[in-house]
Structure 1
Amino acid sequence: MRVNAAGPSLARVARPRLYEQLMKQILGYIEAEQLGPGDHLPAERDLAERLGVSRATLAQALVALEVLGVIDVQHGTGAVLVYRPSIAAVLRGLREHQNRLPEIVEARSTLEVKLAALAAARRTEEDMAGIDAALEVMAEEIGSGDRGARGDELFHQAVTAAAHSPVLAQLMAFIAEMVLETRLESLAQPGRPEQSLASHRRIAEAIRAGNAEEAAEAMQAHITLVSDVALLK
């Protein structure tokens, strides 16, 4: 029997990314070892050796699991299990997260670029002190080997406060949890914490100088930088 050439075409089956395969193996290990909330996963070096991958590749899988709330990764203590989900549930959550990421980036570009410009026009000396303090926190975190996520969060909060726009601040608060997803992923990229800190400093200097246009451009460049994450590739 001949197949109708005009009929529906068959779509190519997407090959799972390596970090997705690693996620499955890590979840399989958690299940096999009957780990529960509060239990630690093996150290990253040990886990990478067992899986036969680089630590950078393993980090992508761990960050994805962290973003989805399965594990909590803390500097000095490693990965701690938060809850034990099914593999299917995690992969479904990963797909939803990947689909949401471009919209999160779009929202950040819309809101934070305007906030940076307003901060340059409206900031007070007290606002500037808050921005500088956040930069110091991030620098200290990175200097100790951490990713600088807390300092990063404080910096963007300080810029938002310096804009003195209650409505825009409410909108930023609304997307805060979604922004946290991109923050964790971005700061897990090799060399990204230092790059992010440098771009924060450029934003801060433009705000200090009262240059709204330069502050907006610096913020847009920063968002473009931090939006370059493995899960979107």
Structure 2
Amino acid sequence: MLNEATPKLAERLAKRLSEAVHDGELGAGTRLPTEQALCEQYGVSRTVVREAISMLKREGMLISRQGSGTYVTSKPSVALRLSQPQGDFSAVVEILELRSALEIKAAELAATRRDNAHLRAMRNALAELDEAVERGEDGVRQDLAFHRSVVAATGNQHFLETIDFLHQLLQQAIAVTRRNEARNAHYMQQVDHEHHALLEAIAAGDSEAARQAASTHLCNAETRLREARSEADGDG
């Protein structure tokens, strides 16, 4: 049964269902249990179940079939073998390196290919991130949604499919960086500034500025992690 405060219940359930998919408990093509069954299994309301399912549909993990139910979408089986970073410092740094390889180029392309719908999606994602932080939430899902919206603006389906393939990996790494940044108000201000700098560069159609903004953001994320680690070692 889930015991978190109500605003977090849907995200908690979405995470549990996502883990069930990646652990193989819910395989590709599997029909999801009924809403009532999920309510009973996790001790939550239908509203929470529906919101959690909506989250996973937006992330491409679940799909509804008219008159049949909700199913796990087809995912490459190798996704189940991706090692998860958890809280391990070196693993998170390696994922930041992976993100750099993808997202810096994506930002550069997004600046020349984005349209008004893409820009709205980016702005909405940042607004939702601000609202999540104000509610005292971690903002991981909204942070990831912003970076995904930048990738979507490339118009390159292969970029987008790669990000979606790595979804669980990126989500857990972002959770680690955001937990670290939430401990320091200055860090949070930096992240907010970096996100908006990236958005502004893309909106201006400046591919070099967008590339630099993405690089700065990811490099700074690693720097913030290293600073926090040094402080923790010093306290020890």
What TM-score, normalized by structure 1, do the two folds share? 0.56
Say if 1:106 and 1:94 are closer, same or farther in 2 by CA, change over 3 A. Answer: closer
Task: Give 1:125's match in structure 2, choosing from 116, 121, 133.
Answer: 116
Kept in 2: contact 1:147–1:193 (CA 8 A): no
Kept in 2: contact 1:113–1:216 (CA 8 A): yes
Q: 1:220 aligns to what?
A: 215
Using the TM superposition, give the Cα deviation of residue 38 of structure 1 relative to its aligned residue in structure 2, in angstroms: 4.3
Say if 1:156 and 1:96 are closer, same or farther in 2 by CA, change over 3 A. Answer: closer
Task: Give 2:201's match in structure 1, choosing from 206, 210, 219.
Answer: 206
Q: What do you get for the CA RMSD once the two structures are aligned? A: 2.6
Q: 1:150 aligns to what?
A: 141
Q: 1:229 aligns to what?
A: 225
Using the TM superposition, give the Cα deviation of residue 204 of structure 1 relative to its aligned residue in structure 2, in angstroms: 0.2
| Equivalence map 1:45-124=2 (5 Å) | 97-124=88-115
Q: Once the two structures are superposed, what CA deviation does each residue of 1:115-174 show, in whole Å capped at 9, x if it has no partner?
A: 101110100011101001001101111222323222211101111111111112222222
CA distance in 1, matches of 2:229, 2:195: 23
Using the TM superposition, give the Cα deviation of residue 220 of structure 1 relative to its aligned residue in structure 2, in angstroms: 0.8
Kept in 2: contact 1:130–1:158 (CA 8 A): yes
CA distance in 2, matches of 1:136, 1:96: 27
CA distance in 2, matches of 1:164, 1:129: 15
Say if 1:146 and 1:95 are closer, same or farther in 2 by CA, change over 3 A. Answer: closer
Determine whether 1:183 maps to 2:179: no
Using the TM superposition, give the Cα deviation of residue 96 of structure 1 relative to its aligned residue in structure 2, in angstroms: 9.3
CA distance in 2, matches of 1:130, 1:38: 31
| Equivalence map 1:165-180=2 (5 Å) | 165-180=156-171
CA distance in 2, matches of 1:39, 1:155: 28
Using the TM superposition, give the Cα deviation of residue 185 of structure 1 relative to its aligned residue in structure 2, in angstroms: 1.2
Percent identity between the two aligned chains: 26
Using the TM superposition, give the Cα deviation of residue 113 of structure 1 relative to its aligned residue in structure 2, in angstroms: 0.3
Using the TM superposition, give the Cα deviation of residue 102 of structure 1 relative to its aligned residue in structure 2, in angstroms: 3.0
Q: Work out the number of aligned pairs and report it.
A: 146
Say if 1:39 and 1:137 are closer, same or farther in 2 by CA, change over 3 A. Answer: closer
Kept in 1: contact 2:201–2:209 (CA 8 A): yes
Using the TM superposition, give the Cα deviation of residue 94 of structure 1 relative to its aligned residue in structure 2, in angstroms: 7.5
Kept in 2: contact 1:135–1:155 (CA 8 A): yes
CA distance in 1, matches of 2:138, 2:189: 9
Structure of greater Rg: 1
Kept in 1: contact 2:118–2:152 (CA 8 A): yes
What runs of 5+ residues in structure 2 fail to find an aligned partner?
5-18, 20-83, 231-236
Kept in 2: contact 1:142–1:193 (CA 8 A): no
Q: Once the two structures are superposed, what CA deviation does each residue of 1:171-195 show, in whole Å capped at 9, x if it has no partner?
A: 2222222211221111112233432
Kept in 1: contact 2:85–2:169 (CA 8 A): no
Kept in 1: contact 2:86–2:173 (CA 8 A): no
Kept in 2: contact 1:124–1:162 (CA 8 A): yes
Q: Given residue 145 of structure 1, which amino acid in structure 2 is its aligned partner?
A: G
Q: 2:125 aligns to what?
A: 134
CA distance in 1, matches of 2:86, 2:128: 33
CA distance in 2, matches of 1:94, 1:119: 28
What TM-score, normalized by structure 2, do the two folds share? 0.55
